[in-house]
Structure 1
Amino acid sequence: MKAEGGHGAAIPPAKPFLKWLKCSLKETFFPDDPLRQFQNQPPSKRLLLALQYLFPILQWAPRYTLHFLKSDLIAGITIASLAIPQGISYAKLANLPPILGLYSSFIPPLIYAMLGSSRDLAVGTVAVGSLLMGSMLGTVVNHSDNPKLFLHLAFTATFFAGIFQAALGLFRLGFIVDFLSHATIIGFMGGAATVVCLQQLKSILGLQDFTHEADLVSVMRSVFTQTHEWSWESAVLGCCFIFFLLISRFFSKKQPKLFWVSAMAPLTTVILGSILVYVTHAEKHGVQVEGIAVGRSFAMYKNYHIDGNKEMIAIGTMNIVGSFASCYLTTGPFSRSAVNYNAGCKTAASNIVMAIVVMLTLLFLTPLFHYTPLVVLSAIIVSAMLGLIDYQAAIHLYKIDKCDFLVCMSAYIGVVFCNVEIGLAIAVAISVLRVLLFIARPRTSVLGNIPNSVVYRNVEQYPNATHVPGILILEIDAPIYFANASYLRERITRWIDEEEDRIKVTEETSLRCWEHRH
């Protein structure tokens, strides 16, 4: 064939099927080419590289310095001060004994420190994961009626969640997560945070009986049918602690160097709340305490690479191991990881420091939580969840893409007015449907030439763009597949008819103008 100017363009040779299949699979599952580092290496070097690949701790441990230790020590202690109250609070959210939240901040971080590739990720329990576990297991067994079976199911669920996560990483399927759109995640996380905050009204208002449902209607009905049981002492205490936590976060955002203020605030509220209850005997005035439950029972900024599949294997492995050590579902919470990053961590050793601090707490300090009021734990949860309701992102979506805003609100409403499981299903379904619609109905537009330039733009967006006589230029925002072939054929046929009508009208107009002049 001939290109413009008469120059020949050679047709590329056909690629054999097996070679094409190999290249396609490699590009899909191994875009980072993890085996490249093993090429042209002696056997001993390959063994060392393999061990370092499986256990990243072998990469940074030999180069560890006293300077790194100082930074990781400060970061580890800082995130431990956040992990301890959050671990207790989130375990309560999952309807599990609070001490399991401390176990889950002790064993998994040690596993991740050996297997994880991120320097900044701080491992521990998360509110949304705790809510999902408590909600899903609650449909099978009541945690109050059969706590032993509920515990066994929680550990079993954690084990299989770890198996699933590790399998996704092992089979290089981490790209599946990319199908969840940003709008969907905003809506789901906002809805889950709203549900979590609503459930904390039980402790904040000092209610004894509360609905096990998570939807807005059930919670509001449970709250306003028990107005005679509201405890104003508990409500005032809860509001004060929420205000204190939000103020500390505000100052930390305004002055990033004061990150430690926000990090230390949850533990400070636990200590102050416990002292207040002990001094005033507030448990006799409607303020419930924790009591026996505890006594008995950022890579892009630092310019380093994180392998998403390796991370899934590491997180899956720590959940598998943790399920055998009385730990429930853990991952890398964003808030704790942000504190770890701001605290200046250098390696994953900050997780080891955090685990040691939590271990010391388990051994020596758990009796001090005897007077911890439930309202303080609820305040910690509420303040953390309010940070997940990103209303500014939702407003931004409304301004730039109404369809994305609709997706976001659908996920949010599904979680708030139905339940977390239905909301999650809606979020995933909408994300997949959005991808399918993008493929089956791609955006197409007619391009015109910008006067006095070689630039072509959408004629609907640029009124001064002119059509090229006799040529229809189209821009299709997706590859051409069998799923969109018929649609594109119909659109192109319609545009050709419209172009012919436009040319015909233009010619008739020109002819009438000529006749009028003559």
Structure 2
Amino acid sequence: MADSSEFLHKVNFSSSRTFGSALKSSFKETFFPDDPFRQFKNQTPLRRTVHALKYFVPVLDWAPKYKFKLFRYDLLSGITIASLAIPQGISYAKLANLPPIIGLYSSFVPPLIYAVFGSSKDLAVGTVAAASLLMASIIGSEVSVVKNPTLYLHLFFTAAFFTGVFQTALGFLRLGILVDFLSRSTILGFMGGTATIICLQQLKGMFGLQHFTTNMDVISVMHSIFTQTHKSKKKPRLFWVSAISPLLTVILGCLLVYFARAEKHGIQIVGPLKKGLSPPSIKYLNFEPRYLKVTVKAGIISGILALTEGIAIGRSFAMMKNYQIDGNKEMVAFGLMNIAGAFTSCYLTTGPFSKSAVNYNAGCKTQMSNVVMSICLMLTLLFLAPLFSYTPLVALSAIIISAMIGLIEYEEAYHLFKVDKFDFLICMAAFLGVVFVSMDVGLMVSVGISIVRSLLYLARPGISKLVNIPNTKMYRDVEQYPSTNDVPGILILELGSPIYFSSAGYLRERILRWIDEEHEKITNSGGNELQYVILDMGGVTSIDKPGIEMLHEVQKNIHRKGIKMALTNPRIEVMEKFLSSNFLETFGKEWVFLSVAEAVTACRFMLHESKQKGFAGLNDHTIAVDNA
């Protein structure tokens, strides 16, 4: 082995990092992967303070550089999204069984807060259908909106407060990793199922039904429709109101109802809307123990959903304009605007896709478009709110249905089916759970399957056999490159994931099975006897004590068969564990290499040496026999 060292690079066996430095590195990579503090390096205390303020309050960064030529774009975008916010706000409030004016309030204060603390230039703040229906489902299971509408409303404010506290805490504690468990497949299925239920729910307004189920599963909804259709009071000559665009639909609907006195002919309308800005609601927050569980549940579940949707939408538009947004800062911004909203008669808000897409296409340049929208809503609340009291529910139903149809992304679901069947299963679990059971159950089942999938990957990691690409020093997976060459007498296996207690037993059995299969293959083909096993550790990011013990056991097991084991390219975290556990003292540092190519070169050198010694011993024996 020493003779071969002249053409091998040295492996770094230097002393490991201190516990403090290792912990600091792990903490930084886990909670600060974007390294937000790099801008504070080599700065004076004053400059650091200024940068810190700009980091935590983004408006201090973009507002001083704001120019009037940008305002014309933001003004147009703000007015455009305000025209969408008014009908959507009323519609989604009705969807949540809340007074319609609450929907308008929710597009007044929260956008102002987001403009100060948010980092996305394109996100337009408002209420969303999925979260509205989800909160109605959870809170409605505890308190009846018909029997106690005031308490029902106050619990919505309280749930929004808990949403804000939860989101802010996630942002400050840099725990955005928790949101990552809500995968794209889960969101796709959940949104599709929610859209289906919402569309069916709107049949109440379309058919003019007086009583309707508060349950959110498709069976209960269809039962209500078929058992009450005969009670409908709709007039066919007034039922043709269609959705050309949200605001135009509302305006036309209001005019038709007002001049035709349609409310006297069975057409249901929104009802009275008071003028005035959103009143304080902090005194209405309800922290009674018997309602605390339902408000916390509604706040956290809907908060996670809103975060995932809002951050994903913000990042999508940021990529289109080639700028970055900080997910953790977005969490803080969402949290603060929901806390402020809970104090000012608003319920949960986030960044809805439809409104954000309109904002982007209208040419917005900065967060000022949210300020413009908020001002438009303020003027509406002060002067125009009563005019929308004649809005027919059938118009709101048409608006909601037209918005929800776009959420059923069947093409994306089919793409999931083609690419990854397990992802498709997660998507369908969310969809079917929402449609046939309930929204929270569908969401939790889908998330649960996603977590089980992650645990399966952890417990059953991938391991592959590497072979040599002809005329190169590259080694690749034999299944991907089946026409490549085996290395005679050497088995090369690639470990591609962390080695923990949960996977150690599987990896031991799998490595030994690979060796047995290689022995059988060699025996059948009459090739060279297997003498070396090389484990490529480049993909092993971490290892624990059971994992190290597994490597010991494998080495002992194959040593009895006359096979030697080598390791290649262990990462610094793995090398530190090897050194601290004295693993290398028994394994042998000379059996650790920088690369697979160098390990193969060393093994071939030793194979050649052993053959030469074997020939020399055979010649000596022959001469001794001849002399005798």
Q: Conserved in 2, the CA contact under 8 Å of 1:94 and 1:130?
A: yes
Q: Which secondary structure state, in structure 1, belongs to the residue aligned with residue 321 of structure 2?
A: coil
1:367 paired with 2:367, answer no
- Aligned equivalents of 2:434 and 2:339: distance in 1? 28
TM-score normalised over the length of structure 1: 0.89
1:55 pairs with 54, 57, 67, which one? Answer: 57
Q: Which secondary structure state, in structure 1, belongs to the residue aligned with residue 435 of structure 2?
A: helix
Equivalences for residues 454-465 of structure 1 within 5 A: 456-465=475-484
Cα 1:369/1:3, change in 2 over 3 Å: farther
Equivalences for residues 111-190 of structure 1 within 5 A: 111-190=113-192
2:242 aligns to what?
Answer: 241
Q: What code does the residue aligned with 1:338 have?
A: A
Q: Conserved in 2, the CA contact under 8 Å of 1:446 and 1:473?
A: yes
TM superposition shift of 1:236: 8.6
Cα 1:147/1:495, change in 2 over 3 Å: same
- Aligned equivalents of 2:338 and 2:44: distance in 1? 35
4+ residue segments displaced more than 6 Å: 1-4, 294-297
- Aligned equivalents of 1:404 and 1:448: distance in 2? 31
Give CA deviations for 1:413-443 in whole Å, capped at 9, x if unaligned: 1111110111121122122212111111123
- Aligned equivalents of 2:362 and 2:492: distance in 1? 54
2:518 pairs with 499, 510, 517, which one? Answer: 499
1:432 aligns to what?
Answer: 451
2:80 aligns to what?
Answer: 78
Task: Extract unaligned runs of 5+ from structure 1.
Answer: 245-264, 509-518
Q: Which secondary structure state, in structure 1, belongs to the residue aligned with residue 86 of structure 2?
A: helix
Q: What code does the residue aligned with 1:199 have?
A: Q
Identical pairs, percent: 62
1:290 aligns to what?
Answer: 270
1:325 paired with 2:344, answer yes
Give CA deviations for 1:171-230 in whole Å, capped at 9, x if unaligned: 010121112222122111211221111111111111111111000111111111223124
TM superposition shift of 1:82: 0.8
Cα 1:443/1:187, change in 2 over 3 Å: farther
Q: Conserved in 1, the CA contact under 8 Å of 2:117 and 2:333?
A: yes
Q: CA RMSD in A?
A: 2.2
Q: Conserved in 1, the CA contact under 8 Å of 2:74 and 2:363?
A: yes
1:259 aligns to what?
Answer: none
Cα 1:266/1:4, change in 2 over 3 Å: farther
- Aligned equivalents of 2:484 and 2:224: distance in 1? 61
Q: Conserved in 2, the CA contact under 8 Å of 1:188 and 1:424?
A: yes
Aligned residues: 486
Give CA deviations for 1:223-264 in whole Å, capped at 9, x if unaligned: 1122312456479947x625x4xxxxxxxxxxxxxxxxxxxx
Equivalences for residues 220-369 of structure 1 within 5 A: 220-230=222-232, 233=235, 237=239, 241=242, 244=244, 265-292=245-272, 298-369=317-388
Cα 1:280/1:467, change in 2 over 3 Å: farther
Q: Which moved more, 1:177-186 or 1:374-383?
A: 177-186
Task: Extract unaligned runs of 5+ from structure 2.
Answer: 279-316, 528-628
TM-score normalised over the length of structure 2: 0.74
TM superposition shift of 1:505: 1.7
Cα 1:295/1:97, change in 2 over 3 Å: farther
Q: Which secondary structure state, in structure 1, belongs to the residue aligned with residue 465 of structure 2?
A: strand
- Aligned equivalents of 2:339 and 2:87: distance in 1? 24
- Aligned equivalents of 2:6 and 2:107: distance in 1? 66
- Aligned equivalents of 2:490 and 2:521: distance in 1? 13
Q: Conserved in 2, the CA contact under 8 Å of 1:123 and 1:351?
A: yes
2:12 aligns to what?
Answer: 10
- Aligned equivalents of 1:70 and 1:104: distance in 2? 25
Q: Conserved in 2, the CA contact under 8 Å of 1:295 and 1:370?
A: no
Q: Which moved more, 1:76-85 or 1:398-407?
A: 398-407
Q: Which secondary structure state, in structure 2, belongs to the residue aligned with residue 11 of structure 1?
A: coil
Cα 1:393/1:117, change in 2 over 3 Å: same
Give CA deviations for 1:326-361 in whole Å, capped at 9, x if unaligned: 011111112211111111111111100000001111
Q: Which secondary structure state, in structure 1, belongs to the residue aligned with residue 320 of structure 2?
A: coil
Cα 1:139/1:406, change in 2 over 3 Å: same
1:194 pairs with 196, 199, 223, which one? Answer: 196
- Aligned equivalents of 1:234 and 1:169: distance in 2? 52
RCO (CA 8 Å, sep 6+): is it higher in 1 or 2?
1
Q: Which moved more, 1:418-427 or 1:174-183?
A: 174-183
